[in-house]
Structures are given as structure tokens and as C-alpha cells.
A and B are shown apart, each in its own frame.
Chain A
Amino acid sequence: AQSVTQPDIHITVSEGASLELRCNYSYGATPYLFWYVQSPGQGLQLLLKYFSGDTLVQGIKGFEAEFKRSQSSFNLRKPSVHWSDAAEYFCAVGALLTGNQFYFGTGTSLTVIP
């Protein structure tokens, strides 16, 4: 069955520190992998996506993620966190077929302390 696991419900980091948010997936077909960010009162904004090719993908706002097929993981990283990065982060996996659904993880809430 398709699923996405984000083991960390809540993470607190200091501003300027590095960040890694974990994501593991289970998917029967070749996955498309995504990270979305949700700020309070806002919709879901796409940070980055992986379809194929280079397993290290760069996204907006200085985020990157690395696809590791052997570990079924797609962890999100940022070398230096800014206070404005405080938000909820969702990992998602989708199929190659159009119109198919995404499967979202439960999200990781990021708090940034000064």
C-alpha cells in the first residue's frame, strides 16, 4: 500500500542552524516525490519535487532534498534556517499517471528559535 511517513511530528531548531526533515515512503510504482510547506492560514506551496535523474534536487528558499531509493527516503535539508522557515512541512508521493492522487505524510511542524 502507498504511504508516506514523517517520523518527526515537531522539530525545533535555532536560527542559523542546519535542518533535516525526514520522509520515508512506500509506493508500488515509480514515485514522484514532493515537499510542500504550509504557513499558518496559507495553502500548500511546493518546495521541490523529484521525478528522475539527479537524486539531489534543489528547491525554493534554499531547500534541497535527496532521494535514496535503497532507503525509500526523501529527506529535506537546509544548511541554515531562517525564522521565516517556521511552518508545517509535508512530504508527498504521487504516481506517474495523470489525475492520480498524492499521498501526504502527517507533516512536521518546524519551530525556529532566535
Chain B
Amino acid sequence: EPEVTQTPSHQVTQMGQEVILRCVPISNHLYFYWYRQILGQKVEFLVSFYNNEISEKSEIFDDQFSVERPDGSNFTLKIRSTKLEDSAMYFCASSDLGNEKLFFGSGTQLSVL
């Protein structure tokens, strides 16, 4: 079965630094998402992306966050100036028909020190 690939699997950074989390969605998919899961809490929606623009974002996705599809295969999440509370597992997902089936990556564990 095709899969969504995320790199790196673990990222450690200092507070205030910029991080970029990378995702390679499934090749024929059109909708892309970022979710995050703080340890012990629920999976939270961050943003959805379609046709090279954000289609929906949550209140978590403030000005410190941005997403980009720099080429035909990658989908990135940038956190401009990380805070301690950004420490979480970040999941990328993609789908070909919107919500019909989301394929999730295995996640990037971000630790902000």
C-alpha cells in the first residue's frame, strides 16, 4: 500500500529556532494536512492544503506556522520561532478525495528545549 513519508522521525531544537518538518504525500493525492499530538492528548488538526493554498486552519495554526508545497512531491510545515509548547508529534496526511480516506505518515517527534 502507498504511504506518506515524514522526515525526520525525531527533531530536537532550541526554543526560538526555526524548524521545518518534511512530508512526502502519496503521489496522486491532492489534499494535504498537518496534525499534531501533544503527549497524552488528542490528535489536533492544524491545517489543510489544496490547490496550492490553505483551505482550512485551526486556531493553533498562528503566524508562527506556515506550510508550503515547494515542488511536486514535498509538503512542509515550518515553525518560525519554536516555543516549548510546540513539542509534540506532528503527523502529515494526504488524501485523494478529501476526507474519504486520510493516509497518515508515521510522524515527526519534535522536542523543543
Contacts and interface: CB of A to CB of B under 8 A. Distances in A.
A107 to B, nearest CB: 6
Interface of A, helix, strand, loop or mixed by DSSP: loop
Contact of B41 (A45, A46, A100, A106): A106
B50 A42 contact: no
Contact of A99 (B42, B44, B50): B50
Interface stretch (B14-22, B62-70, B78-86, B101-109): B101-109
Interface size class of A (residues with CB under 8 A): 20 to 34
Interface of B: 4, 6, 31, 33, 35, 41-45, 48-50, 55-56, 58, 91, 93, 97-107
Contacts of B103: 46
Contacts of A105: 42
Given A90-B43, A106-B42, A101 B48 contact: yes
A87 interface: no
